[in-house]
Amino acid sequence: MDTLALLADGFATSLLPLNLMIVILGVTAGLFIGAMPGLGSVNGVAIVLPLTFIVPPSSAIILLAAIYYGAMYGGAVSSVLLGIPGASTAVATTFDGRPMAQQGKAGLALIAAATASFVGGTISVVLFTMFAAPLADVALAFGPAEEFALVLLAFTTFVGLGGDDVPKTIVMICLGLVLSTVGLDLISGQPRLIFGDLPGFYSGISFLVLAIGAYGVGEILYTIEKSRTSPTVTPAKITFKELGAGLRAMNRMWKTMSLGSFLGFFVGMLPAAGATPAALMAYGVARQTSKQPETFGTGNIEGVAAPETANNAASTGSLLPMLTLGIPGSPTTALLLGGMVMWGLVPGPMLFIEQPDFVWGLISSLYTANFAAVVINIALIPLFVWALRMPFAVLCAIVMVLCIVGGFAPSQKLHDVWLIIAFGVGGYLLRKADYPLAPLVLALVLGPLMEKSFRQTLIAEQGNVLAFFERPLSATFLCLAIVFFIWPLVGLLFTRDHKDHPHVPSKRPKFARTKKT
Amino acid sequence: MLVADRIIALGIMALSAYFMWHAAELPIGWNAMTGGPGGGAFPFWLSAIMMLAALSILIRTFRYEPPEKGSDEPFFDSVMLPSVVKVTAALIITVALIPYAGAYIALPLFVFWYVKIYGKHGWAITLSLTIGIPVFLFFFFEATLKILLPKGFTEPYFFPLYAMFF
Amino acid sequence: MSKFNFTRRAAMALTATAMVLGSSVAALAEDWKPQKPVEMVIMAGQGGGADRIARLFQSIIQKENLSNMPILPVNKGGGSGAEALRYLKDKEGDAHVIMATLNSYYTTPLRTDIGVDIAEFQPLARMAMDTFVLWVNADSDIQTLDDYVAAVQAAGGEWKMGGTGTGQEDSLVTAMLEKEFGIKHTYVPFKGGGTVAKNLVGGHIDATVNNPAEQMGFWQAGKVRPIVAFTPERLAVFPDVPTASEMGHDIVYWMQRSFVAPKGMPAEAVAYYTEMFEQLAATEEWQTYASEKALVADMITGDELQAYFLEERSKHDTILNSMAESS
């Protein structure tokens, strides 16, 4: 009851006319920032943080929440329209979002992403409201061993055996993991694989660089080559009828979306993990439990809905350790944490007791911002879809410029822009040779976490490998991971009778790959 | 296609060897004293697995009939390949130009080349893009997001703009 | 929302700033002003202690209008700051770059040869020195330093000490502890102080030598216990926590938070930034933050700071050498 009263107070402030205006402005700005490849909520929050010292504090929180949600929704826009994940959290959205856009169903995909984000955001805020304090203890129970088990689970839900060409998949996973070790080795303090002492490699290879290179530049080169034999862009249009159809389609996906929301919230809540593994796991689970897993990767609307619910839920979840433990789970929450320190608040276990006004003001702003984000996003979909109707050369020129600038912006290093071009050409060649790109990107995102937590555990346990199985949480995750890994193999054994030689890659499309014409 | 498959598999094997050589600068074995693998172990052994997988792809191309239907087609589309090469070259020149001439000269030049010369569009659309993109970049990235783009020798010309918008 | 009333605090800070502005140094700033946004390179990645404090400075500068051009923070944390040091070296003579440093400013060039001599850089201002305290989980029985040493000895080398990356500050303090008491820890490196704090409370490690700023929230909630401070005098926020030196063990270690500029920055620009930091140091926000987080905020600038850097570099050289010999 106490909670509800505090929340009602929060709502009373967040629904004032001034604050509503701030929400609309914030969400719109966030949407456009998130829709740019290379930019995400971290840039949005960074620009408004200084502003928050000018406006009244209650409005400041609302503005931050609005930008945060706006950028989360916007990430899906770039994944669907351009096929470039704007942030690592939106990688999984490209797998089915991009093929849908190529079939002329960009509008539908965007509606699915927006609705799914709304559902994910709402369910997670409700969970947050009810269980914020007790859940902090769950986050504490996660040590390096549990982190490792969870990352492994995220990996296997996504990359089971079977499906794509197995040796090629293995090559790409290993390549991604090796690239993820570039830079300083935290454990020994020594630089690794810095290729002739290039300072640009000291900080490692960022996920964004690989994603913009392989999906942005690589995709354009690929499309240019194919543009002689096939129509380049399927004209996309959006009507009210389609909007209705989209919403009805979403109505059938409650199972996928609620699963995605819970998964997203709980994985996002863990400080080390965050939204990216959450989105990938949701995608993997949706595919494994689907009646038609083979349609995933070719434009299945559920493949858009699952990761989008999960990454939005996870973004809300990642606020939890920041507020209750003072540990930022992502660069964005790190900035928010800095802002709170500036306001004279001490994030941590005492925040909920000492500053209930702030906490509940923030939570009620999340509800308002989420609602505003879905409305504004759907209203803007025709504009986004219209952008796809530009002449191909114009669209290409704009996307290339955005790739260069977007690659430069986060780190402000030209080194990264050169890497983007290298990954673009490399990705283009590998893709032509039927190497799946998704496992490469996935491995680069999860690799550092995996290696670090694995080695931390072994150091702490004096090299005892069984330590992973001696702790109940990590043992559970590991067993689940093994089940997920073997599951498709079992399926494969039953269908093997009619197949030809085992080395022949099956035609089942598994990872995002445009159909060849 | 088959030839390209082999060349790429060989290329990956060469790359893994290169990675292994670099990774071996750090300990790659199991260090019982510090508990667990050394700093070079992950990259080294993963590169080794990568090499084996690429080797199996290579062997496969000799042992079996080409598995997919389009495998007898040439790897590159000979008509469009020059376009791909041209665009890649233009990108490389653009990025090479950025540190000296700045983003506000290099990027419009690229857009102009792509839209007018390569894309053969009209003057109206070319000029509006060539002018519109840098203006958008300045106001969106620099004035709003406070992310400065490299300017090269054009830097002093931006001082009045900074004074106005910051 | 009355709990955090900004206006009153802002007004007080403004008065403080106005007082500084009115004083002698104001005349110097007339000569030179930045013509473009100033890049503030941070020697660490996003989210860590160094990043947080650098961004705090940036917010105060912006809020109090201490600079006519915006200060733009850029993280270059690669290779324990090697990336940032190399970047600053390449910016010779540039009047629009400053760098926020921490102790890796001297340890990184000592540990690996990156072709940078920090004596060439232009020192601007040391804003604060962060302190180190030995922490254990509040559930443990350890109350004093003697209890701690006994517990570590009993664990026979399996005592898990958490901290930041190997070769960074926390591992140096751990090495100093080991040398002083002849004990052995299992050192588990984590990405940042916040993660270390969480792992201590979650019981995944047994102790840490974290900065108080990282541990404050948990301490207030009664989840962790400070055992001993590695400062010459007791910290004002922990009056009951003894220092190592008062117990006869000479372990003192600081984390400095300073700003430096590239070699050859014009003298007027150096004067401008020095004055900016002097104003910053006088703001109420900064004073409050420093005392709450147990920072020692005594500011030094110019030649005095350069002398401090060089002295610290030779001290760290000795510590690193003795670490290399013992392992």
| pLDDT per residue as tens digits for the range A405-440 | 988 988 888 999 999 999 999 999 998 888 888 888
**pLDDT of A126 above 50:** yes
Q: What is the mean pLDDT of chain A?
A: 81
B155 touches chain C (CB under 8 A): yes
Q: What is the pLDDT of residues B111-149, one digit of tens each?
A: 999 999 988 889 999 999 999 999 999 998 888 888 889
pLDDT value of position B101: 93
Among A170-174, B78-82, C70-74, whose mean pLDDT is lowest?
A: B78-82
Q: What is the pLDDT of residues A150-200, one digit of tens each?
A: 888 888 877 654 456 778 888 998 999 999 999 888 777 777 887 777 778
**pLDDT of A464 above 90:** no
CB C306 within 8 A of CB C123: yes
> Could A348 and C217 be called an inter-chain contact, meaning their C-beta atoms sit closer than 8 Å?
yes
Among A46-50, A207-211, A320-324, whose mean pLDDT is lowest?
A: A46-50
Query: Could you tell me which chains touch chain C, where touching means 3 or more CB pairs under 8 A?
Result: A, B
pLDDT value of position A228: 63
> Could B26 and A188 be called an inter-chain contact, meaning their C-beta atoms sit closer than 8 Å?
yes
Question: Which of B39, B81, B146 faces A190 most closely, judged by CB atoms?
Answer: B39
pLDDT value of position A343: 75
Please list every residue in chain A whose beta carbon sits closer than 8 Å to the beta carbon of residue B149. 405, 408
pLDDT value of position C152: 95
Question: What is the crossing angle of helices C49-63 and A331-342, to 10°?
Answer: 50
**pLDDT of A498 above 50:** no
Q: Could you tell me which residues are beta bridge partners of residue C277?
A: none
Which of A147, A209, A327, A452 would you mutate first to test chain C, the one with the most C CBs within 10 A?
A327
pLDDT value of position A422: 95
* Nearest residue on chain C to B144, alpha-carbon basis: C70
pLDDT value of position C254: 92
Q: What is the pLDDT of residues A470-495, one digit of tens each?
A: 888 899 989 988 887 777 666 666 65
Q: What is the pLDDT of residues B16-59, one digit of tens each?
A: 999 999 888 888 877 656 667 888 888 999 999 999 999 999 98
pLDDT value of position C268: 93
* Nearest residue on chain B to A410, alpha-carbon basis: B147
| More confident site: A1 or A267 | A267
Which stretches of B49-140 are assigned E, i.e. beta strand?
none
Which of B26, B145, B162, B165 would you mutate first to test chain C, the one with the most C CBs within 10 A?
B162
Q: β-strands C160-163, C207-208: how paired?
A: parallel
> Could B162 and C186 be called an inter-chain contact, meaning their C-beta atoms sit closer than 8 Å?
no
* Average pLDDT value for residue range C183-194: 87
Sole residue written with tokens 């009939």: B65
> Could C37 and B146 be called an inter-chain contact, meaning their C-beta atoms sit closer than 8 Å?
yes
> Chain A neighbours among B 82-121 (CB < 8 Å)?
83-84, 87-88, 91-92, 94-95, 98-99, 103, 107, 110-111, 114-115, 118-121
List the domains of chain C with CATH numbers. 7-130+255-325 (3.40.190.150), 133-252 (3.40.190.10)
Among A428-432, A461-465, B4-8, C254-258, whose mean pLDDT is lowest?
A: A461-465
Q: How confident is the model at residue B67 (pLDDT cuts 50, 70, 90)?
A: low
Size of interface B-C (CB pairs under 8 A): 21
> Could B46 and A33 be called an inter-chain contact, meaning their C-beta atoms sit closer than 8 Å?
no
pLDDT value of position C20: 45
CA distance A362 to A66: 11
Q: What is the pLDDT of residues C216-267, one digit of tens each?
A: 888 988 899 999 999 999 998 999 999 999 999 999 999 999 999 999 999 9
Shortest distance between the Cα of A222 and any Cα of chain B, in A, equals: 8
Q: How confident is the model at residue A142 (pLDDT cuts 50, 70, 90)?
A: confident
Query: Could you tell me which chains touch chain B, where touching means 3 or more CB pairs under 8 A?
Result: A, C
Which of B142, B147, B155, B166 would you mutate first to test chain C, the one with the most C CBs within 10 A?
B166
* pTM of the shown model: 0.84
**pLDDT of C2 above 90:** no
Residues in contact with C65: Cβ distance below 8 Å, sequence separation at least 6, in sequence order: none
* Average pLDDT value for residue range B99-107: 94
Which of A193, A462, A499 would you mutate first to test chain B, the one with the most B CBs within 10 A?
A193
CB A297 within 8 A of CB A511: yes
Predicted complex ipTM exceeds 0.85: yes
Please list every residue in chain B whose beta carbon sits closer than 8 Å to the beta carbon of residue C326. none
What is the percent of chain C with per-residue pLDDT over 90, rounded to a whole number?
A: 56
What is the percent of chain A with per-residue pLDDT over 90, rounded to a whole number?
A: 13
H-type alpha helices, A49-199: 57-81, 91-102, 106-140, 144-158, 166-180
Our measurement of the distance from residue A192's CA atom to the centroid of its chain's CA atoms, rounded to an integer in Å, reads: 27
> Could B158 and C36 be called an inter-chain contact, meaning their C-beta atoms sit closer than 8 Å?
yes
- The phi and psi torsions of C232 (rounded to 5 degrees) equal -70, -35
Half-sphere exposure for C256 (CA within 13 Å, toward CB): 24
Please list every residue in chain C whose beta carbon sits closer than 8 Å to the beta carbon of residue B32. none
pLDDT value of position A247: 79
Q: Other C-beta atoms within 10 Å of C74: how many? A: 18
* Average pLDDT value for residue range A373-393: 85
pLDDT value of position C30: 58
Q: What is the pLDDT of residues A279-325, one digit of tens each?
A: 888 888 888 788 887 888 888 888 999 999 998 998 888 888 888 88
Q: What is the mean pLDDT of chain C?
A: 86
Q: How confident is the model at residue C141 (pLDDT cuts 50, 70, 90)?
A: very high
Please list every residue in chain A whose beta carbon sits closer than 8 Å to the beta carbon of residue C104. none
**pLDDT of C144 above 50:** yes
> Could A168 and B53 be called an inter-chain contact, meaning their C-beta atoms sit closer than 8 Å?
yes
Q: What is the pLDDT of residues C266-282, one digit of tens each?
A: 999 999 999 999 999 99
* Nearest residue on chain A to B110, alpha-carbon basis: A397
Which stretches of B91-157 are assigned E, i.e. beta strand?
none
**pLDDT of A276 above 50:** yes
> Could C37 and B148 be called an inter-chain contact, meaning their C-beta atoms sit closer than 8 Å?
yes
* Average pLDDT value for residue range B71-80: 72
**pLDDT of A51 above 80:** no
- The phi and psi torsions of C185 (rounded to 5 degrees) equal -110, 160
Shortest distance between the Cα of A1 and any Cα of chain C, in A, equals: 20
| More confident site: A61 or A469 | A469
* Average pLDDT value for residue range C1-7: 42
Question: Which of C63, C76, C195 faces A53 most closely, judged by CB atoms?
Answer: C63
CB environment A46-56: b (16+ within 10 A), e (fewer): bebbbebbebb
Q: What is the pLDDT of residues A59-95, one digit of tens each?
A: 887 888 899 889 888 888 888 888 888 777 888 888 8
* Average pLDDT value for residue range B69-84: 73
pLDDT value of position A132: 76
Question: Which of B68, B95, B110 faces A418 most closely, judged by CB atoms?
Answer: B95
> Could C4 and A456 be called an inter-chain contact, meaning their C-beta atoms sit closer than 8 Å?
no
Which of B77, B91, B115 would you mutate first to test chain A, the one with the most A CBs within 10 A?
B91
* Nearest residue on chain C to B161, alpha-carbon basis: C36
**pLDDT of B88 above 80:** yes
> Could A189 and C288 be called an inter-chain contact, meaning their C-beta atoms sit closer than 8 Å?
no
**pLDDT of A514 above 60:** no
